[in-house]
């Protein structure tokens, strides 16, 4: 795996640990030669993970739809920037150019991206690893809901068990087999 798509908040959230984890993840990706693919924003956890990847010598590809690009929220120092027309095109391209997915804390946009990529896996549209960085238990409620959905017959156990969940960036990357996977040319 040489590229990981990260879904995360365009704000920092209410705990410094979220930004710390985003920076640590970006640093690890950059140092291990794993390209970061993300939504191209210059704010919140999004800029934290991107800047840390760049600072560690890594490459960062951003994918920005017109609506966000017009808001002047696009990171100016990315390795590569893809401009697309819509949010749907953004998600499709991010999925196409990535080998794996990681969700960090975020709001409804992050939840939308994570749920769509899980749905695509359910439908057999991809078999790429899906990781959740559960910093300070941020995703506990979502994971509880998913188990409830399994118990109520709306999701399969395999849909939930495909998710790789960890509390620390290094642990998550190791479990996703992303550490040391880059630079294999």
* DSSP per-residue codes, 84-124: ESSHHHHHHHHHHT-SEEEE-S--HHHHHHHHHHHHHHHTT
pLDDT recorded at residue 177: 85
Q: Is residue 24 part of a domain?
A: yes
Q: Is residue 135 part of a domain?
A: yes
Q: Is residue 120 part of a domain?
A: yes
- Count up the domains in the chain and report the number: 1
Confidence of residue 1 (pLDDT cuts 50, 70, 90): confident
Residue 156: give the domain boundaries. Answer: 3-175
Average predicted confidence (pLDDT) for the chain: 94
Q: Is residue 183 part of a domain?
A: no
- Alpha carbon separation from 16 to 23, 51, 90, 107, 161 (Å, rounded): 11, 16, 28, 16, 29
Q: Does residue 161 surpass a pLDDT of 70?
A: yes
Q: Does residue 184 surpass a pLDDT of 50?
A: no
Mean pLDDT to the nearest integer, 45-67 = 97
Q: Is residue 182 part of a domain?
A: no
- Alpha carbon separation from 34 to 59, 158, 166, 179 (Å, rounded): 8, 27, 19, 8
Q: Is residue 180 part of a domain?
A: no
CATH code, 28 = 3.40.50.450
Q: Does residue 172 surpass a pLDDT of 80?
A: yes
pLDDT recorded at residue 183: 37
Q: Is residue 88 part of a domain?
A: yes
* DSSP β-bridge partners for residue 60: 36
Q: Is residue 185 part of a domain?
A: no
pLDDT recorded at residue 185: 31
Confidence of residue 182 (pLDDT cuts 50, 70, 90): very low
Q: Does residue 146 surpass a pLDDT of 70?
A: yes
* pLDDT (tens digit per residue) in 76-98: 999 999 999 999 999 999 999 99
């Amino acid at each position: 795996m040489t590229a990981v798509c990260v879904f995360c908040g365009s704000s920092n959230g209410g705990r410094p640990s979220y930004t710390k984890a985003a920076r640590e993840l970006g640093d690890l990706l950059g140092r291990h030669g794993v390209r970061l693919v993300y939504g191209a924003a210059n704010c919140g956890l999004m800029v934290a993970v991107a800047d840390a990847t760049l600072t560690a010598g890594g490459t960062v590809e951003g994918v920005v739809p017109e609506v966000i690009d017009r808001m002047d929220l696009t990171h100016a120092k990315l390795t590569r920037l893809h401009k697309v027309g819509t949010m749907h095109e953004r998600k499709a391209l991010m999925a196409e150019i990535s080998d794996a997915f990681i969700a960090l804390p975020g709001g409804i946009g992050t939840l939308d991206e994570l749920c769509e990529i899980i749905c695509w896996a359910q439908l057999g549209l991809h078999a790429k690893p899906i990781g959740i960085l559960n910093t300070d238990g941020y995703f506990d409620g979502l994971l509880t809901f998913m188990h409830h959905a399994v118990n109520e017959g709306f999701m399969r156990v395999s849909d939930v068990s495909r998710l790789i969940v960890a509390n620390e960036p290094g642990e998550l990357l190791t479990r996703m087999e992303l550490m040391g996977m880059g630079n294999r040319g």
